[in-house]
């Protein structure tokens, strides 16, 4: 016996921007679940910027994907067959074997999740999942956010950035400034998410735009973009400014290393702290994070927007769109109707 | 009545490397001490890299010096006239009005210091003073040094760097690596100061030299130099590496901003922390610092070397030599015989 699946594989390492030919969608036969395994029908899978790094052969914090192997990533689904007492058929689960319509996975590698009445299950891939914890850990632990701080977040309309700005507002920031890549995103940040100011980084030099948006300077910077944004933030920092460096999507498709900020001397003079981090090192914050975010979701004070792409066939397109800013909020690929 | 003094003034803001014409040595008449003031005969004055910043009009953490005003800086001397009960004639004092042979200064702005039997009083300008506290705060607070760490220090033969490396060794570093600018300095670091390895940064790419000197990578970087050294350290860091950024003497005479490191992406991937600092913000560590360093000096486990230049007339030359690495250990200018 076996289970027919459809799965996305990496067949060539992208050079610069990933193209369709770097991937293939294959039909595969997976063996029936062994003892302790479950079969999960994917409801939604995640595409995330960090996956670009896994497509590269360069050493990074996440191991490179092998060519010809099925890719992986966050996914939520429903157990359709179980050989585990701990995770029965029908359970809703979160696991790490995305990029496929059906996953056969050890029960110990899945987390059973509660349905979210009135909310999509895919929130476990975003505000209640890895991106949410990334925003929470970066803002509150790495950047040591304190009430009254002025906060700047780059990539502010993305899955992580849109939460960082809202978390800062909800915890008493004096000012929340975001940058994004389209007028629609900028409007959304200002009008729906309650940012104090936002700008489209295409409209000028980031340093000038930031100075106009935060004329008194900033205390905290949460960076998803890198490059010019980091240089602008270093220039805008007040004394004792703190940056949580989460990623640098502006450079993920770069084929040559861009030069770093020219104003690093300010790090000494302004007594700044720059800290890079990976969410996996901060799992101890999860209970605190889930408590805070669940409360904000329930009382409606937090907006958790998704950009939903339909169908496994579109997953690579969704990933490519993500790298060029085609999402507002969390980008997810929906593979099956949401039962919740 | 008045007191005749000789004083160094800044008369032109240096463009690039300071030249003799940027300064003048003047004879001045200072009024006799007012109530609460003391007259101090300078025994030794300090020249320090941070003074290059004060010569510039650019905003920095230390205010710019005015043109035509006498420069300032650390100095030790003996009180030759006093109108303060707290600081009697004959007292040895540390104060901030260097660059002159005689200073008239409020008693509340001087610190009375103990003679150092068998040691020069100028150690209060180095190992027991601002450079010493800089090394101590940077290594133990900012870089959060822990026993077993592998440490790399740039400008390792300088006043601060030579102490950083020794502090790390004395507190149980697994490896201490230093960079310097001459073969003599490198030999001194290895043979006299107990560095595990040292290299001359003229001998190749800093990244390659560092890899050879610390093949297993580093945990802590203390940076006095900036530029290529910082990029090399970021490349050599292990996970959770920590940098204390103290200065960037390589760029102090630069007339255009050099590009930053091209490998900042490692800050995220390796979860690094980079912290700039200014010693003035860490004065609370002084009692702990003095206790530790006094002990090491007394038991002979710490080498506190000075490069001594004689005479006020040579002070500008000493400062210019400092910026091009003409010192080993602390650069001081001796103006009068040391009574201790």
The residue of B141, B144, B269, B278 whose CB has the most chain A CBs within 10 angstroms, and thus the best one to mutate to test that interface, is B269
Residues B98 and B76 grouped into a single domain: yes
H or E element that contains B9:
strand B2-10
Say which CATH number the domain at B159 has.
3.40.50.720
Rounded to 10 degrees, the C-alpha dihedral A23/A28/A33/A39 comes to 60
Of A195 and B248, the structure prediction assigns the larger pLDDT to: A195
Residue B292 resides in a domain: no
Give the count of domains, chain B: 2
Residues A107 and A34 grouped into a single domain: yes
Mean pLDDT of chain B: 95
Least CB-CB distance to B262: which of A258, A267, A277?
A: A258
Say which CATH number the domain at B319 has.
3.90.180.10
Residues B248 and B329 grouped into a single domain: no
Residue B230 resides in a domain: yes
ipTM of this complex: 0.91
CA angle A98, A101, A103 (to 5 degrees): 65
Residues B110 and B208 grouped into a single domain: no
**Alpha-carbon distance A226 to nearest alpha carbon in chain B (angstroms):** 8
Q: Looking at chain B, which residue has its C-alpha nearest residue A239? A: B61
Residues of chain B in contact with residue A246, where contact means CB-CB under 8 angstroms, are 268
Tell me: the pLDDT tens digits for B198-231? 999 999 999 999 999 999 999 999 999 988 999 9
> Taking CB atoms and an 8 Å limit, are B269 and A278 in contact across chains?
yes
Residues B65 and B119 grouped into a single domain: yes
pLDDT of residue A45: 98
Tell me: the pLDDT tens digits for A167-190? 999 999 999 999 999 999 999 999
Find the farthest-apart pair of alpha carbons in chain B and give their distance in angstroms, rounded.
Answer: 67
Sign of torsion over alpha carbons A133, A222, A262, B11: negative
Nearest to B132 by CA among B156, B152, B159: B159
Residue A334 has pLDDT above 90, yes or no: yes
Residue B289 resides in a domain: no
Residue A249 has pLDDT above 90, yes or no: no
- A51 and A159 Cβ atoms separated by less than 8 Å: no
Residue B1 has pLDDT above 70, yes or no: no
pLDDT of residue A144: 98
Mean pLDDT of chain A: 95
Count of helices and strands (H, E) across chain A: 9, 15
Joined together, the tokens standing for residue B155 give 């400008």
Residues of chain B in contact with residue A260, where contact means CB-CB under 8 angstroms, are 231, 259-264
Tell me: the pLDDT tens digits for A52-62? 999 998 876 77
Residue B216 resides in a domain: yes
pLDDT of residue A1: 64
Tell me: the pLDDT tens digits for A80-125? 999 999 999 999 999 999 999 999 999 999 999 999 888 999 999 9
Residues of chain B in contact with residue A258, where contact means CB-CB under 8 angstroms, are 262
Residue B25 has pLDDT above 90, yes or no: yes
Least CB-CB distance to A276: which of B246, B270, B277?
A: B270
Establish, for the pair of chains A and B, how many residue pairs have beta carbons separated by less than 8 Å.
106
Report chain A's C-alpha Rg in angstroms: 20
CA angle B72, B74, B77 (to 5 degrees): 110
Residues A187 and A236 grouped into a single domain: yes
Which one of B237, B266, B281 terminates a domain?
A: B281
Nearest to A281 by CA among A108, A133, A160: A133
> Taking CB atoms and an 8 Å limit, are B275 and A276 in contact across chains?
no
Residues B116 and B240 grouped into a single domain: no
Neighbours of B29 (CB within 10 A): 9
**Alpha-carbon distance A302 to nearest alpha carbon in chain B (angstroms):** 27
Instruction: Please tell me the distance from the alpha carbon of residue A29 to that of residue A298, in angstroms, as a whole number.
Output: 42
Of A106 and B262, the structure prediction assigns the larger pLDDT to: A106
> Taking CB atoms and an 8 Å limit, are A277 and B268 in contact across chains?
yes
- B194 and B166 Cβ atoms separated by less than 8 Å: yes
Residue B242 lies in domain: 130-281
Residues B88 and B210 grouped into a single domain: no
Residues A244 and A221 grouped into a single domain: yes
Instruction: Please tell me the distance from the alpha carbon of residue A121 to that of residue A91, in angstroms, as a whole number.
Output: 12
pLDDT of residue A252: 78
Residue A315 resides in a domain: yes
Q: What does each C-alpha distance from B7 to A245, A317, B4, B97 come to in angstroms?
A: 48, 71, 10, 10
Residue B287 resides in a domain: no
Residue B339 resides in a domain: no
Q: Which phi and psi angles does A70 have, rounded to 5°?
A: -70, 135
Residues A330 and A209 grouped into a single domain: no
The residue of A60, A236, A264, A269 whose CB has the most chain B CBs within 10 angstroms, and thus the best one to mutate to test that interface, is A264
Residues in A lying within 8 Å of B, measured between beta carbons: 53, 60-61, 226, 230-231, 245-248, 251, 257-278, 281
pLDDT of residue B252: 78
Residues in B lying within 8 Å of A, measured between beta carbons: 53, 60-61, 226, 230-231, 245-248, 251, 257-278, 281
Residue B337, exposed/middle/buried by CB under 10 A (0-12, 13-18, 19+)?
exposed
Q: What is the mean pLDDT of residues A17-25?
A: 97
Q: Looking at chain A, which residue has its C-alpha nearest residue B273? A: A275
Helix (H, G, I), strand (E, B) or coil at B312: helix
Residue B323 has pLDDT above 80, yes or no: yes
Residue B340 has pLDDT above 70, yes or no: yes
Residue A298 resides in a domain: no
Residues A134 and A94 grouped into a single domain: no
DSSP-derived secondary structure for A39-105: EEEEEEEE--TTHHHHTSSS--SSPPPPTTSB--B-EEEEEEEES-SSS-TT-EEEESB-SBSEEEE
Residues B82 and B20 grouped into a single domain: yes
Tell me: the pLDDT tens digits for A285-315? 999 999 999 999 999 999 999 999 999 999 9
- A241 and A146 Cβ atoms separated by less than 8 Å: no
> Taking CB atoms and an 8 Å limit, are A281 and B264 in contact across chains?
no
């Amino acid at each position: 016996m076996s289970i027919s699946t459809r799965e996305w594989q990496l067949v060539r390492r992208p050079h610069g921007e990933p193209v369709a030919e770097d991937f293939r969608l294959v039909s595969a036969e997976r063996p029936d679940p062994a003892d302790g395994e479950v079969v999960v029908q994917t409801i939604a899978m995640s595409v995330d910027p960090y996956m670009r790094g896994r497509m590269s052969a360069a050493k990074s914090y996440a191991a490179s994907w092998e060519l010809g192997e099925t890719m992986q990533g966050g996914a939520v689904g429903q157990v359709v067959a179980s050989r585990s007492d701990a995770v029965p058929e029908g359970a809703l689960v979160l696991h790490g074997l995305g990029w496929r319509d059906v996953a056969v996975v050890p029960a110990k590698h899945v987390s059973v999740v509660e349905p979210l009445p009135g909310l999509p299950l895919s929130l476990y891939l975003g505000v209640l999942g890895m991106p949410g914890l990334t925003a929470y850990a970066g803002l509150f632990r790495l950047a040591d956010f304190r009430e009254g701080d002025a906060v700047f977040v780059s990539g502010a309309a993305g899955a992580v950035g849109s939460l960082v700005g809202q978390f800062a507002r909800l915890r008493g920031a004096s000012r929340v400034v975001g940058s994004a890549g389209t007028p629609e995103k900028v409007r959304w940040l200002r009008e729906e998410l309650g940012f104090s100011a936002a700008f489209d980084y295409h409209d000028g030099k980031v340093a000038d735009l930031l100075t106009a948006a935060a004329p008194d300077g900033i205390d905290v910077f949460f960076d998803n973009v890198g490059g010019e944004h980091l240089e602008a933030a270093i220039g805008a920092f007040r004394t004792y400014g703190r940056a949580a460096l989460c990623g640098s999507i502006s450079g993920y498709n770069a084929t040559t290393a861009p030069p770093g900020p020219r104003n690093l001397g300010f790090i000494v003079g302004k007594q700044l702290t720059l800290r890079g981090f990976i969410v996996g090192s901060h799992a101890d914050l999860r209970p605190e994070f889930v408590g805070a975010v669940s409360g904000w979701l329930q009382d409606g004070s937090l907006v958790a927007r998704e950009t939903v792409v339909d169908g496994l066939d579109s997953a690579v397109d969704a990933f490519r769109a993500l790298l060029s800013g085609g999402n507002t909020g969390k980008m997810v690929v929906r593979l099956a109707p949401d039962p919740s």
